[in-house]
Structure 1
């Protein structure tokens, strides 16, 4: 008779995501996972595979959750300019309140594993495409409503805003100066005028 799992797989995956996000892939040992998740090694292997498989699933979980939240947030905004402003302000607020200074999990993975991990490079590139397309589509709603000039190069703007968003998250890990970051947001958003 198969053993019944005594833990919630979704909750455990979420906890693993938090641990990998905070410590990184290489600095998280299998024993760290056992201790932090509160389940034994065999359960981790049986349910998720090894450390790499668990990491991949946790990272995919982060990206899926983040994408869903981003799309829902942007769809709820009445103004594209104000929507981007709120998005960036929320990112700054999260960074300032994050005492662990975890930053963005995607950026952390990029700096830790790319370019040595070809598979992860592909995942990161796909994530960049998703983000830029999402920003582009949101900008297009601004053009459609007349809020943003139809003469703007939306592809370039989406790329710049994505680069800024990532850069802001990196800078906030080392110097979460809220006033300076908010000033940068106001400056970059003049591109939409």
Structure 2
């Protein structure tokens, strides 16, 4: 993450392109990162346009011109988070030889990301819309769909394990996926409440002992 302070910056005038959009004088990816950190730390509704313009060193018109409205910017920040901060679940599940190892590596990787000293704690997909009002139902639903996609990937990895003979056919796959998705969300809340990496690792250890009980 870069920590360079960006002074008040506007899209630059260019003689040849004054009428058809102007090249931006700021780093859009850096701006997205800063906006993402605000939404991640304070949540969607609690982060105001004023907070965003101050952090990004842009005027409100420039912010809207570059990223659209607040909701559009938030969605772009979620995409940035998934690309740069979230656990690479596909890569982990592809490389792990068994479903149990896949789930264990997935949880441990998440722990390292949930309690970073230089980043907001918890998973942005959980904490950014926790306290939203009814006015943000569409945003909440959008983020819920992304969380459900993660749980679906857990279920699909279990189904793969059954096909490979790694997990017995009678195993309650949906219950297993539900359980570990719940563990993941619980880790987020614990991290948000100040639990450190060592404490979260202990939670994962106990959660993986549960594997053989299903």
Partner of 1:39: 58
| Equivalence for 2:70 | 51
Structure 2, unaligned runs of 5 or more: 1-17
The answer to whether the 8 Å contact 2:40/2:124 transfers is yes
TM score, norm. by length of structure 1: 0.84
User: Match for 1:156 among 175, 178, 197?
Assistant: 175
Q: What corresponds to 1:189 in structure 2? A: 208
Is the contact between residue 115 and residue 122 of structure 2 (CA under 8 Å) also seen in structure 1?
no
2:105 maps to 1:86: yes
Residues 121 and 188 of structure 2 are in contact (CA less than 8 Å); yes or no, is this contact kept in structure 1? no
How many angstroms does 1:115 deviate by?
Answer: 5.3
Instruction: Give the TM-score normalised by the residue count of structure 2.
Output: 0.77
**Residue 99 (structure 1) shift:** 5.2
Offset at residue 65 of structure 1 (A) = 5.4
Structure 1: tracts of 5 or more residues without a match: none
Q: By percentage of residues, which structure has more helix? A: 1
Change (3 A) 1:133 1:67: farther
Preserved contact between residue 148 and residue 192 of structure 1 (Cα < 8 Å): no
Partner residue of 2:29? 10
Matches within 5 A, 1:29-178: 29-63=48-82, 69-98=88-117, 101-113=120-132, 117-178=136-197
Equivalent residue of 1:111, what SS? coil
Aligned counterparts of 2:126 and 2:200: Cα–Cα separation in 1: 18
CA distance in 1, matches of 2:183, 2:49: 35
Q: Is the 8 A contact 1:115 1:121 kept in 2?
A: no
Q: 2:114 and 2:86 mapped to 1: Cα distance?
A: 18
SS of residue in 1 equivalent to 2:131: helix
Residue 63 (structure 1) shift: 4.1
Give the length in aligned residue pairs: 193
CA contact (8 A) 2:32 2:76 kept: yes
Aligned match of 2:9: none
Shift of 1:17: 1.1
Tell me by how many angstroms 1:47 deviates.
Answer: 1.6
Cα deviation, residue 64, structure 1: 5.7
Note closer, same or farther for the CA distance 1:66–1:143 as it changes in structure 2 (3 Å cut).
farther
Distance in 2, Cα, partners of 1:64 & 1:101? 16
